[in-house]
Amino acid sequence: MNINGIEINKMTDTVWEIPKHGSMKVPGKIYLSEKMVKNSLTNDEAIKQVVNVAHLPGIQKFSLAMPDIHWGYGFPIGGVAATDFNDGVISPGGVGYDINCGVRLARTSLEYNYIKDKIQNLTNSVFRNIPTGVGSSGAIKKLSPKEIKKILITGSGWAIENGFGTSEDLTLTEECGKLADAEPEFVSERAIERGLDQAGTLGSGNHFLEIDVVEEVYDEVIADVFELFKNQIVIQIHTGSRGLGYQICDDYLKILLEAEKKFDFKLPDKQLACAPLNSKEGKAYLSAMKCAANFAWNNRQIIMHLTKNSLQNELKISDTELGFKLVYDVSHNIAKIEEHKIDGILKKVCVHRKGATRAFPPNSKFIPEKYRNVGQPVLIPGDMGRYSYVAVGTERAMDETFGSSCHGAGRLQSRTQALKSSKGKDLFAELRKNGIVIQAKGMKTIAEEMPNAYKDVSDVVDTMHFSGISKKVAKLRPLGVIKG
């Protein structure tokens, strides 16, 4: 099959390969059903970006894309690439502007029937207590640069030390909520300034907080380990490092675009600006990126605690009755130094996951002991009008995708296209008709994030499920949605 001038060959019902050609260092590999290939790739530049990423110095095995693939900056969103630690590069385009944008899932002991008549009030309460939208601030007092730098080093630990949650939350967060060797000296004053009043804020765009119900359970055994059950009320939080992370990305893109002249890389797209991992510039970006990642984990930790307090105060129930606990927190915009088997040899690599979620298998020492027998929870949000999924990582993911899976539904329409197609529609009424209460700062965000702007997340998740990359555990349905 030829798409936009690029040959793409069907390998299995869910795997497609772009043969290595021209200056590509590795082939491309995309996980998609045949229906999705025809519906989501024909008018998108993302497939060309898969080819472009295959030119990165030191790239290993494949330039990969998950089924939520769509056009992004440099890398496609849904893109995964591992580069050799000694001879490879790190690229901000392979992480994204919103460093450590990720998803956090918390469970409660509440059942749907108990709160079905209180969804509006609960949503209103959380909306009042969680600042949302562009430039939002005020969840907690404005912090000093000194305190921000502590967050950049300690991550979620700062929130726990300041009363926003418990130490158990750290054990149920990817990397325990902190990447080591994060050094604030590599973060600009402007980035620090942008973070001063954004700890505990939700942001805008596709970020959200949802009150969901577990609508379906596919694997009772694993769901039980994750403490999930049918008709249970859960909370889903999707946000990242806010303006601080955006500024770090912006700062280093400029630095690396300038530095590339001395590295003499021959890359097909300047948006793939990169530096050797062992260079001064590469080390500086990696450290700054870790700072932003730690800020994001701390951000989600604070938001989760404020949400718990909102629910408890609105329902006037005890901690025990609420049963509020973190299930897991996973990043989907990050680059991490990991060890993976390449041609049968364990090798240290830098895994770029941009719009892709880690999906480590059972017995991995890098997932919480609580989940070690079953595998890592994989959290895959959909659009605000349909559903989201909880899945679990597999050994096959480690073999094929550097332990990675999809991160969400993936856009079908740009935000501009969504705004145009939403004209004349009462999106609030449509959501209400489906039993969904929504609170947002403005109509523009609702229009940009309308359900039809996204792929059906069930198609995306099924592709991963039938590929054996991540296995479905439960389906969540939104009841109350908060957007910036």
| Token digits of residue 116 | 């079905």
H or E element, residue 204? none
- Residue 207: helix, strand or coil by DSSP? coil
Dihedrals φ, ψ of 234, to 5°?
-130, 165
Catalytic residue among 70, 352, 407, 465: 407
Residues 6+ apart with CB under 8 A from 320: none
CA distance 354 to 107: 26
* C-alpha span between 287 and 187 (Å, rounded): 9
For this structure, is 21 an active site residue? no
3-state percent helix, strand, coil for the chain, nearest multiple of 5: 40, 25, 35
Helix (H) or strand (E) holding 159: helix 156-161
DSSP reduced 3-state for 211: strand
Q: Cβ(92)–Cβ(248) under 8 Å?
A: no
Evaluate whether 39 touches 61 at the Cβ level (below 8 Å).
no
State the DSSP string of 410-438: -BSS-HHHHHHHTTT--HHHHHHHTT-EE
Which positions are annotated as active-site residues?
A: 407
